[in-house]
Amino acid sequence: MNALFTIGAILFSVLFLGSGFGHFKALEPMTGYAKYKGLPAAKAGVIVSGLLFLVGAVAIIADSLGAFDGKVGTYGALAIALVMFPTAIIFHNFWKETDPQAKQNEQIQFNKDIALAGAALVIAAAFNANILG
């Protein structure tokens, strides 16, 4: 992989390392928020998403540094995307907000999550292209 991809993949992954650790550091408050937003099995959801962020980020970093053949990074990026799409829809459903300020804030967070999911898919595609040649 080239240097720009490696740098970009690492910078992308650092966000999810921090977020993954944050899921465990603030497990109870995050579980409360997940319950408030109607997530079934909220605590399990927080734990699983935190683990997927951590494992996905480590996989992307390791594979972008050449530790694997691209498959690990592909799966790591897909794991992150798998969490980000439903996170956007469940936690940042701006279309349900009536307060204009809250609606704007949730739409910003929704757009951010969708963009991060898209970036994860681009990273997965780049690793996969490397696998396929």
* Mean pLDDT score of the chain: 94
Give the residue carrying structure tokens 């480590």: 58
Distance CA 113, CA 72 (A): 22
Q: How far is CA 11 from each of CA 4, 34, 51, 71, rounded to the nearest angstrom?
A: 11, 27, 19, 20
pLDDT band at 131 (very low <50, low <70, confident <90, very high): low
Contact yes or no for 13/60 (Cβ under 8 A): yes
At residue 2, the pLDDT reads 86
Percent of the chain with pLDDT over 90: 89
Measuring CA to CA, which residue among 69, 61, 73 is closest to residue 124? Answer: 73
Reported as a single tens digit per residue, the pLDDT across 2-25 is 899 999 999 999 999 999 999 999
Contact 97, 113 (CB under 8 A): no
* Residue-wise pLDDT tens digits, 64-105: 998 888 899 999 999 999 999 999 999 999 999 999 999 999
Q: Which long-range contacts (CB under 8 A, 24 or more apart) does 32-37 make?
A: 33/91, 34/91, 37/90, 37/91
> Residue holding tokens 């780049």?
126
- Gap between the Cα atoms of 48 and 45, Å rounded: 5
pLDDT, tens digit (0-9, with 9 covering 90-100), for 12-61: 999 999 999 999 999 999 999 999 999 999 999 999 999 999 999 999 99
Helix axis angle, 100-132 relative to 42-64, nearest 10°?
40
